[in-house]
Amino acid sequence: GEEITVLDGTKLKLTADNLLIADQAKGVALAGIMGGENSMITDETTAVLLEAATFDRSNIRVSARTLGKSSDSSYLYERGVMPETTALASERAATLLCQLCGATQLDGIIDCYPRPWQAENITCTAEYISTVLGIPVTVQDLSETLARRGMATVAADEKSLTVSVPFWRIDLHNATDLAEEMAQIKGLDCIPELPPTVKVTAPFKNDKYLPQENTMKSLLGLGLDEIMNYSLWSLNACLAGSGLAEENIMRVSNPISIDTAFLRPTLLPGIIQTVNHNVSHNQHDIAIFEIGRVFRQDAEGRHENTHVAIALSGRPHPERFGQELEVRYDFYDLKGILESWLAEIGLPPLQCRPLEAPAYRKGHAAELCLGKQVFATFGEAAPELVKGIRLRSPLFIAQADLEVLTKAAKRTKKYKELPLFPETSRDISFLAPSDLKHQDIVTAIQKQNLPFLEKVELKDIFEDEKVLGAGKRSLMYSLTFRHPQRTLNDDEINELQGKVRAFLQNKLGLELR
């Protein structure tokens, strides 16, 4: 594009959208913003050409922003300059040059006005103005009041009138604007304070937003606070932890600044910024979530989805005292929150398996899935994400695609009768290899289809190379049994527990303790 050096010495590269004032050979000024260096007045100047013009204010505003060159001139033009005052301004400037600088004014003026201003007429009725203001207004009141504002009556009858808008009132366009003028002249204290008359109707609910509402209610009920962030971020913020290439990030065509030039592909930028803001203000106990739109592009096109992100750090109960005050959020707190939320919105029990992703610390992340379908990822935030944040405790984050969850969730909930008979629990302890996954153990036990086995829970983990040996750990599981129609006796429970012990020892090769 063409280049011009303006009065402050800045060299600007222009585009087709920038308006340039030029002669036959070169540009001499950036219209509505700043003059060119090649046409500036110096001690050797003997002739001055005065130009008074008006420009489209939106064009001046966009040009000043994109070029990063704001001035007193652009400030005025962005807010609108009245065309009818250009000749007066030019004559005033010429008079001052003659009086103060000893200049001689030459005869003649060049006036290029291809679309002269025409007075705009607005028609309104006294009934409409009375309805808007809530006070009785006559046509005569309208005519007299608006005349004090410079609006002459063009035509009038018993019910309505038409007024001509003066050139200096570029903000008047319709009858509602005239009602505002009447209110200002009459005084707002003259308008009675009456409650509006409205029809009481049933609230409208859009099923499209029900998943978001249910998610919000569920996470709020689990003790988290909701946050809301902007969708526009810098490129580096968008790339951090996303695992995407730069070409997958969507850029806006007319950004306000370079820090808000890209649409977020994940909710991580807002989550990390919120955590940093809280920590910098000495708030280290954080339990937050965000529901928002994310954007990305690939060979198939552009995509927009609704995601959910969660962040935990610090103490879950800072208001308590004693030993609970020392408790900190950990990996399993986040897992429990995710499982509770997903179960509440209608998802079946999910499997948990290890995960490696850019957003999470290596070896400290997992995903909740059903078969090959992944519903959520979570874990400790990667060191690169929290670099520079003065965290006192690790930051745990989770991400999920709400639209994927909604498709898999069961909308119809089935009623399950509350149990009438008590449950009975038995504990089983055994030594297992350190690389044996908890989910594999639970799945293997559940596949035995033991009658009356209600749930399997991990109760304790013990690791000590000196006591147990290298590559081993001690696990303790709790087995819960319940009969739907009667209370189980000890012999029945011991028999079921024995089957589990035999399976773990003979089939999985675990050493019982």
Assess whether pLDDT exceeds 80 at residue 45. yes
Assess whether pLDDT exceeds 90 at residue 192. no
DSSP state, 269? H
**Owner of token pair 């790339």:** 239
| pLDDT, tens only, 453-501 | 999 999 999 988 888 888 899 999 999 999 999 999 999 999 999 999 9
- The pLDDT value given to residue 423: 93
CB 163 within 8 A of CB 178: yes
**Owner of token pair 């540009």:** 27
- The pLDDT value given to residue 242: 92
Q: Is 444 exposed, middle or buried (0-12, 13-18, 19+ CB in 10 A)?
A: middle
DSSP state, 44? T
Beta strands in 235-300 (DSSP E): 262-263, 286-298
Instruction: State the virtual CA torsion across 479, 410, 294, 358 in degrees, nearest 10.
Output: 20
Cα 111 from chain centroid? 50
- State how far the alpha carbon of 354 is from the alpha carbons of 14, 70, 333, 342, 378, in Å: 53, 53, 16, 19, 10
CATH code at 208-408: 3.30.930.10
CA dist 67 and 346 (Å) reads: 52
Assess whether pLDDT exceeds 80 at residue 152. yes
- State how far the alpha carbon of 191 is from the alpha carbons of 143, 159, 160, 330, in Å: 19, 21, 21, 60
DSSP 131-198: HHHTS---HHHHHHHHHTTT-EEEEE-SSEEEEEEPTT-TT--SHHHHHHHHHHHH-GGGS---PPP-
270-279, 382-391, 437-446: segment of lowest average pLDDT: 437-446
- The pLDDT value given to residue 337: 96
Highest mean pLDDT among 135-144, 264-273, 340-349: 264-273
Average pLDDT over residues 172-201: 86
The CATH homologous superfamily for domain 3-101 is Phenylalanyl-trna Synthetase, Chain B, domain 3 (3.50.40.10)
| pLDDT, tens only, 61-119 | 999 988 888 899 999 888 888 888 888 888 899 999 999 988 898 887 888 887 777 78
Angle CA 108–113–117, to nearest 5: 125
Residues with Cβ within 8 Å of residue 488, at least 6 apart in sequence: 424, 452, 481, 482
Average pLDDT over residues 289-310: 95
Q: 389 falls in which pLDDT band (50, 70, 90)?
A: very high
- The pLDDT value given to residue 278: 96
φ, ψ for residue 487, nearest 5 deg = -90, 130
Report helix, strand or coil for 480. Answer: strand
| pLDDT, tens only, 236-262 | 999 999 999 999 999 999 888 889 999
Closest residue by Cα to residue 117 from 154, 86, 77: 86
- The pLDDT value given to residue 381: 96
- The pLDDT value given to residue 134: 86
Span 424-512 CATH architecture: 2-Layer Sandwich (3.30)
Q: 305 falls in which pLDDT band (50, 70, 90)?
A: very high
Closest residue by Cα to residue 283 from 225, 219, 220, 365: 225
CATH: 3.40.50.1000, 3.30.505.10, 3.30.56.10, 3.40.50.620. Which one for 120-190? 3.30.56.10
- The pLDDT value given to residue 239: 95
- The pLDDT value given to residue 197: 74
CB 196 within 8 A of CB 160: no
- The pLDDT value given to residue 49: 87
> Can you give the residue ranges of every domain in the chain?
3-101, 120-190, 208-408, 424-512
